[in-house]
Amino acid sequence: MIAARKSWYRPVASLQKYSVGGRIYYRIVESRRVDGKPRPIPIMHIGSAEELVNRLLSSAGTAGPSRIRSYQHGDVAALKAMADRLAIAALIDRHVKGSYQKLSVGTALLLAAINRAVEPCSKRAWAEWAEGTSIHRFFDVKPEQLTSQFFWDRMDEVSAANLEAIEDELTKKVVSQFDLKLDTLFYDTTNFFTFIASDNERSALAKRGHSKQKRFDLRQFSLGLLVSRDGQIPLCSHTYQGNVVDCKSFPESLTKIRRRLEHIAIALEDITLVYDKGNNSKKNQTLVDGGERPLHYVASLVPSQHPDLLGVPASDYQMPKTGYLSGMKVLRCTRTIWGSERTLVLFISEKLRRGQIRGLQQHLDKAVTQLEQWQQSLVKPRSGPKTDDNAAKKIDTILSAQHLKDVLKIEYNPRRSGMERLSWHIDAEALEHLHQEVFGKRILMTNQHDWSDEEIIRAYNGQSKVEDTFRRIKDPDHLAVRPQYHWTDQKIRVHVFICLLALMLTRLLERESSSHGYKDVTPRLLDVLATIRLAMVLSPSTKQGGRPRCQWQLEDTNQNTLALFTKLVPAEQPFVYTPPNT
């Protein structure tokens, strides 16, 4: 019996486009061999593209419009509208002459900034994020084309000089266009850890130092930032090495601040600069005071460095009964500090005092636990320190926390036996003195001699604005500087610029929203705007052979949110805020 011969031929069907009389039609064809040669054999005529879409929309009982897909829209559209208002992409492109035709450097940096504001991710993950948003409506680009290499190539085009020029022009434009009040400005610093390897020599910025995020095992870079009291808008930044302490970086930051303010054409004598004690020193204060361009300032001093001021009894302080300072102990005086006469305002912060009391108690509890464990170990024969020096070093280690030596008294007597060699007690009088006469005291220094105590303390308390800004750019959900996977100083600086651009756009949105009566801060504002989604709706043609209708409109949403959105986003293409059923 002869087995049947197997045939491995499988006909292949495909969609084919063809032209008749200048019009385009589609048909399904099957590839067959005719006279030994492959030929497409039509097996079904579909018709024109319009007929095919209409047939799909009308099939399976579908009647009327068919919603195909929706996109996250409100937050992206509001950020793009704000960027257009400032013409940011064009502004960047004026300073960076990139060699790209499709999407310029300015557009690429703006795209990256929008992502940092909405949902920070790596450049590699950018396309996946963008596919779920309406960003393709605003930029003539397919998200899948924007790879990590696309962003890195454009970032490579931007030099440190470019960034300085861009920040100069952008800051001046924001101040002018939004009429920002620059009477009081706040300066502070922070740092960001990186994953740059220890043997990577391409980055001079990434160094190990005192990490404010407690990642002492990683290299970090530092950022000094100047923000306005009006709207907390970033005005000047300084990226520097991660192992440089704040007071050492202040002179260079101060030079950049002066130059930036002069570029904005703001008279320095109209500015009051507020900075914390970590940035202050005799040398730095001389820079603020001296030269042809002195600044008004409100700064704090380290109380322990001025024992005469710290020693002023709390009973000498006054306690206003009304107003902003109601219930706060305050003392105003004039002293010669670092060679100049300065107005000082001393006050006691109850919040700080309570925190310091809690902190000292935690250190005491920890030290007593260590002493109890040490005492238990002395039960064993021939245990304990062998020399007085060893005992003294162990005691110093236990008392290393601030103020512990003042209140916890420890004695080790090697001539005794067992547990009796170690004893300790808490000095109740010293503890009470710390609670009442040391903790909570702050010392403010200013040359605004005509300001009231309230104005000086209010200005200093405004320092929390820049601290809040740093919290924002460490928020993993919005605006985060991390994740950042860059290994060179040039890329780190461009990355920081992108993050601060995102911060500026969101702060301006927050300021605009506030002017319309909306009071939520940036994270909540962006989350609310994100609930506005854009839907692409396809409707079949009502005419035989007619083209189907494609319409973009908003999904049903909260009316208050929609009202805010329409105030932030212009009623013009490519922006869309056409509500359903209108």
User: 24 vs 528, which has greater pLDDT?
Assistant: 528
pTM of the model: 0.81
pLDDT band at 457 (very low <50, low <70, confident <90, very high): very high
pLDDT band at 425 (very low <50, low <70, confident <90, very high): very high
pLDDT band at 1 (very low <50, low <70, confident <90, very high): very low
Contact partners, residue 415, CB within 8 Å, separation at least 6: none
For residues 143 and 131, the answer to whether their CB atoms sit within 8 Å is yes
Q: How confident is the model over 214-257, as pLDDT tens digits?
A: 888 888 889 999 999 998 999 999 999 989 999 999 999 999 99
Q: Which two tokens stand for residue 396?
A: 């110093």
Residues written for the chain:
582
pLDDT band at 365 (very low <50, low <70, confident <90, very high): very high
State how far the Cα of 250 lies from the Cα of 283, in Å rounded to an integer.
10
Q: Roughly what angle, to the nearest 10 degrees, separates helices 74-86 and 88-95?
A: 50
Burial class (CB in 10 A: 0-12, 13-18, 19+), 466: buried
For residues 117 and 504, the answer to whether their CB atoms sit within 8 Å is no
Please list the residues that pair with 16 across neighbouring strands.
Answer: 27
Q: How confident is the model over 284-322, as pLDDT tens digits?
A: 999 998 766 788 999 999 998 899 999 999 999 999 888
For residues 469 and 523, the answer to whether their CB atoms sit within 8 Å is no
**Which residue has tokens 């020029």?**
165
- What pLDDT shows up at residue 582? 45
Strand 296-301 to strand 272-275: parallel, antiparallel, or no bridges (unpaired)?
Answer: parallel
What backbone torsions phi and psi does residue 15 show, to the nearest 5 degrees? -90, 130
- 323: how many CB neighbours lie within 10 A of its CB? 10
For residues 522 and 507, the answer to whether their CB atoms sit within 8 Å is yes
Strands (DSSP E) contained in 420-480 are 422-426, 441-446
- What pLDDT shows up at residue 368? 95
- What pLDDT shows up at residue 112? 93
Q: How confident is the model over 262-284, as pLDDT tens digits?
A: 888 787 888 999 999 889 889 99
Q: What are the C-alpha distances in Å from 60 to residues 55, 207, 311?
A: 10, 64, 86
Is the pLDDT reported for residue 348 higher than 70? yes
User: 480 vs 327, which has greater pLDDT?
Assistant: 327
What backbone torsions phi and psi does residue 94 show, to the nearest 5 degrees? -65, -25
- 161: how many CB neighbours lie within 10 A of its CB? 9
Q: Could you give the 3-state DSSP secondary structure of residue 191?
A: strand
Please list the residues that pair with 191 across neighbouring strands.
Answer: 222
% of the chain with per-residue pLDDT over 70: 89
- What pLDDT shows up at residue 439? 94
Please list the residues that pair with 71 across neighbouring strands.
Answer: 534
According to the per-residue pLDDT averaged within each range, which of 43-52, 193-202, 249-258, 461-470 is highest? Answer: 249-258
Question: What rounded mean pLDDT belongs to the chain?
Answer: 85
Q: What are the C-alpha distances in Å from 419 to residues 379, 380, 412, 415?
A: 6, 9, 10, 12
Q: What are the C-alpha distances in Å from 263 to residues 167, 189, 259?
A: 11, 22, 6
- What pLDDT shows up at residue 61? 47
Q: Could you give the 3-state DSSP secondary structure of residue 254?
A: helix
Q: How confident is the model over 54-103, as pLDDT tens digits?
A: 566 555 444 454 556 788 999 999 999 999 999 999 999 999 987 676 78
Q: What are the C-alpha distances in Å from 565 to residues 272, 476, 507, 516, 559?
A: 36, 24, 16, 11, 10
Q: How confident is the model over 141-178, as pLDDT tens digits?
A: 888 888 888 898 899 999 999 999 999 999 999 999 99
* Span 119-127, average pLDDT: 89
Calculate Rg over the CA atoms of the chain: 34
State how far the Cα of 477 lies from the Cα of 524, in Å rounded to an integer.
11
* Span 97-121, average pLDDT: 87
Strands (DSSP E) contained in 349-455 are 408-412, 422-426, 441-446
pLDDT band at 51 (very low <50, low <70, confident <90, very high): low
Instruction: List the domain boundaries for the chain.
Output: 1-47, 49-73+532-582, 352-438
Q: What is the DSSP letter of 124?
A: G
Q: Could you give the 3-state DSSP secondary structure of residue 512?
A: helix
**Which residue has tokens 């004598």?**
269
- What pLDDT shows up at residue 451? 95
Dihedral angle computed from the Cα positions of residues 457, 295, 181 and 107, in that order, rounded to the nearest 10 degrees: -120
State how far the Cα of 258 lies from the Cα of 268, in Å rounded to an integer.
8
State how far the Cα of 433 lies from the Cα of 491, in Å rounded to an integer.
52
Half-sphere exposure of 177 (CA within 13 A, CB side): 15
Is the pLDDT reported for residue 28 higher than 80? no
Helix (H) or strand (E) holding 193: strand 184-193
- What pLDDT shows up at residue 62? 46
User: 459 vs 473, which has greater pLDDT?
Assistant: 459
For residues 554 and 580, the answer to whether their CB atoms sit within 8 Å is yes
State how far the Cα of 580 lies from the Cα of 582, in Å rounded to an integer.
6
% of the chain with per-residue pLDDT over 90: 48
For residues 121 and 129, the answer to whether their CB atoms sit within 8 Å is yes
Q: Which amino acid is at 348?
A: I
SS (H, E, C) 308-369: HHHCCCHHHCECCCCCCCCCCEEEEEEEEECCEEEEEEEEECHHHHHHHHHHHHHHHHHHHH
Q: What is the DSSP letter of 390?
A: H
- What pLDDT shows up at residue 515? 87
- Number of helices and strands in the chain (H, E): 19, 16
